[in-house]
Structure 1
Amino acid sequence: MFSVVVPGRPCLTDIVAVDSQPNGQATKFAFSIPANPPFTDLVVFLLPGTVFPPDTGAAIYIQTPDPSGSPTDFRFIGALANEKPSGIFPVQSPLPTPNGAPSTEAEQEDEMLDEGAAAGAAANAVITLGISIEPAQNIAPQLAALEEDASQKGALVRVPQGQAQQKQISTKVLAQRVIGNAFNFLASFAESDPKKQGHEVVSLKSFRDWWAKFERRIDMDPTFLERVDPNAEG
């Protein structure tokens, strides 16, 4: 139903359902992502053929580790909908920071041990991405609060207009290319669903074949998603 791409890493498909409704349909899912090496953004997208029920969407939450590597509370970072099947979301995972210079030799030794333990815990820390299918009326206020928070932070830190535009274009292009690459490959394997007239399905094997091809492309040319496609330029 969903997949995740962390730049520079293999596409994640090992989604876990964390609840079950009486009808057998899950509405809450999770991905476990190693926090190291650090990353600042990730892409979440709907797999081809996935459609939300009317007036619903997917709320995206993230749980990042604190400096000791322990998990913090989940926080809302965005949403997907039928009209927005993919998105790039920011990730902020705090790193261990020194607590000040110890004054005595014993304190220095204690501090070194503490920092070593914290670094070891952080190295094995996991970021949990939570996806919850929720009514659109529940997601809308969270999106509004998120946008307001972003605007307030933007007022404190002014970014040159050219840089902001360049970031927006690059993330949009990256999301479009991941989804477009998958859709173009999988579309040729779509078959009519005998149970639902007018619907098409794609086998999981076809998705695995797409990812194997996509991964080989990344191995051979890690920056191909970042380059502007001359054929796409107006």
Structure 2
Amino acid sequence: MSLFGYVAAGRLIQTECEQIAENQFVFVVPDIDRVNHVVVFLTGVAALPDGFAAAIYIVRPDPQSPSPIIQYMGFIANQKPSAIFKLGRPKMQDASLNPFASGLLPQAGAQIAISIEPLDQVVQLSADQSAEATTKDVVSLVTSKLLENFSEYAASFAITQAQMIPAPNEMFIPVSALNRWVAKIERRLAEDPNFWRT
């Protein structure tokens, strides 16, 4: 039995992982697109060294690149021996922050990668991730409010068909079309607050 284990919701516990470096371990996760949550834990075989934690990453092949997408999820430590991670759509992250850049093979499929790192570095990485998530929440809220304001403003110009006077230089857009567009943008924003950047 290894130092680490994981369980994907609805599947059996897995405790056999591959050690790819002195401080790095990998679990292959079959059919990861059907997994919503995973729990990663210390098995209790041994404790982590004092002052260290296990940073947890999800690695997925990128169909548009030979390099995989590697996403930091959080950490476990002796004082926090397990954690639940919600898997969403893969997100690109700065490759320089990733300790696995040269160690993992994308053809191995989706993986849970674990790197034993100094606790203060892992805590800082988690703090940076929280700050990024807060920024995304603010962007999402501002965008949502702007859409709402735009929709109300445009609707204030609505006229009924009976009020319409043919004007060759004017174009009319049904308010229902505007409402469908706003709903579509809000749905995409909920899935990925940065979708508009691509």
The interval holding the TM-score normalised by the smaller chain is 0.5 to 0.7
Q: Which runs of 4+ in 1 moved over 4 A?
A: 67-71
**Residue type of the partner of 1:42?**
V
Which aligned pairs between 1:127-142 and structure 2 lie closer than 5 A? 127-142=110-125
Cα distance in 1, alignment partners of residues 35 and 140 from structure 2 = 21
Which aligned pairs between 1:55-70 and structure 2 lie closer than 5 A? 55-66=51-62
Structure 2: gaps of 5 or more residues = 91-106, 142-198
**Residue type of the partner of 1:34?**
P
Cα distance in 2, alignment partners of residues 64 and 71 from structure 1 = 9
The number of aligned residues is 123
**Residue type of the partner of 1:3?**
G
Is residue 144 of structure 1 aligned with residue 146 of structure 2? no
2:76 matched residue in structure 1:
80
TM-score by length of 1: 0.47
Change (3 A) 1:41 1:70: farther
1:198 matched residue in structure 2:
none
Is residue 15 of structure 1 aligned with residue 17 of structure 2? yes
Matched residue SS, 1:34: coil
Q: CA RMSD, aligned part only?
A: 2.5
TM-score by length of 2: 0.54
- Tell whether the 8 Å contact from 1:4 to 1:42 is kept in structure 2 after alignment: yes
**Residue type of the partner of 1:56?**
F
Change (3 A) 1:27 1:36: closer
Change (3 A) 1:67 1:73: closer
CA apart distance, 1:88: 0.7
1:41 matched residue in structure 2:
37
| % identical aligned pairs | 32
